[in-house]
Amino acid sequence: MPLLESRLPSPPPLLRNGHAETLFAGLLRRPPKLDLERERLELPDGDFLDLDWSRSGSRRLALLTHGLEGHSRRPYVLGMAQALRDAGFDVLARNLRGCSGELNRLPTAYHSGETGDLDQVLHHALARGGYESVVLVGFSIGGNQTLRYLGEDPDRVPGAVAASVCISVPCDLPSSERELARRSNRIYVLNFLKTLREKLREKNRRFPGLVDPERLEAVHDLHTFDDLFTAPRHGFRDAAHYYVAASSRPVLGAIRVPTLVLNARNDPFLPLECFPEAEARANPMLFLETPVLGGHVGFVPPRPGPYRSETRAQEFLARVLGLPPAMRG
């Protein structure tokens, strides 16, 4: 019954609120300075992915996936990258299509349930680096993609994948979208829509007629944006179909590698449906930890240092991989 009792320390007193911790981590965190080497991976469909590497010659690799409208150099990605480098891993942080600072080439983009690109990056990394083991780490929708990848077709997951850590995961997308639509979450939705609209305006210039410009300017929430673009351009009937089909919760029972889902109870993006307790009880490989405090990709530490999600990832991976506590490479 892998429902884990959380022993994470609390954030500073002023941040013991889901919104405060989310906003502090997203806007005020100073990222660690980490040297990264960028690689462009050309894809069979004519598009590309930009990858950021941090290598020390380890035989273990951590593959990181950011969240909605994030990128590989966001503070939460760099913080985890530094923590796992310190723990003896090489690190590869991938950018979803169109998220590296350059718009992708095709009329499509990325979506919350897309797993083919993760599979291609993983096989590329294994072929290039000759790694003995790989761990997958995903944040928010990057966590949803990671969980879907592990559960939708476990036979295609390479044997080198040894474990996974997924943080602040909206594993039930229909309910998470409804939660985001609340007035209290308007600031986050507006932030997402700002960059989503900008990218789609540019795509419309490259591909005239891709979407109706007037409808695009009238978009006021994520459901409307997904109805206009994400769903029809990625093979879904509409936004409602997309949210159901792309959710990872229905496939959690099939995951075969030790996987930690770390979702805070005060995450403003996550309703009760995003805490898969029944699935964790039924699958000995799925570990669910639900601390009271943490916000969305927050987990601010009580004092300067690694964030609580980063130290928790280190601890979990050390235990399931049978590594010493210091996890030296």
pLDDT digits (tens, 9 = 90+) for 143-172: 999 999 999 999 999 999 999 999 999 999
Parse the chain into domains and list their residue ranges: 3-171+248-320, 173-246
The pLDDT assigned to 326 comes to: 52
Q: How far apart are CA 268 and CA 178, in angstroms?
A: 11
Catalytic residue of the set 66, 100, 296, 309 = 296
280-290 pLDDT, tens per residue?
999 999 999 99
C-alpha triplet 101, 104, 107: angle, nearest 5°: 140
The rounded mean pLDDT for the chain is 96
The pLDDT assigned to 3 comes to: 82
Question: pLDDT above 70 covers what percent of the chain?
Answer: 98
295-308 pLDDT, tens per residue?
999 999 999 999 99
28-87 pLDDT, tens per residue?
999 999 999 999 999 999 999 999 999 999 999 999 999 999 999 999 999 999 999 999
The pLDDT assigned to 6 comes to: 86
- 140 as an active site residue: the answer is yes
pLDDT at 329 over 50: no
Question: pLDDT above 90 covers what percent of the chain?
Answer: 94
The pLDDT assigned to 328 comes to: 40
- 241 as an active site residue: the answer is no
**Gyration radius of the chain over CA positions:** 19
**Residue 286: what residue type?**
L
Contact 67, 139 (CB under 8 A): yes
Predicted confidence band of residue 325 (pLDDT cuts 50, 70, 90): low
Q: How far apart are CA 26 and CA 18, in angstroms?
A: 12
Contact 74, 175 (CB under 8 A): no
Listed as own residue / partner, the contacts of 184-191 with beta carbons closer than 8 Å and 24 or more positions apart are: 184/19, 184/268, 185/268, 185/269, 188/22, 188/268, 188/269, 189/221, 189/222, 191/69
Catalytic residue of the set 140, 168, 248, 309 = 140
Q: How far apart are CA 36 and CA 52, in angstroms?
A: 6
Q: What is the mean pLDDT of residues 273-294?
A: 98
pLDDT at 327 over 70: no
In this structure, is the dihedral angle defined by the CA atoms of residues 316, 318, 319 and 325, taken in order, positive or negative? negative
| DSSP state letters, 221-245 | SHHHHIIIIIHHHTT-SSHHHHHHH
pLDDT at 1 over 70: no
The pLDDT assigned to 162 comes to: 98
Catalytic residue of the set 50, 117, 227, 267 = 267
* Token output for 38: 């960028």
Contacts of 202 (CB under 8 A, 6+ apart): 103
Q: What is the mean pLDDT of residues 322-326?
A: 71
Q: What is the mean pLDDT of residues 215-238?
A: 97
The pairing of strands 60-65 and 90-94 is parallel
Q: Which fold, 3-171+248-320?
A: Rossmann fold (3.40.50)
The pLDDT assigned to 136 comes to: 98
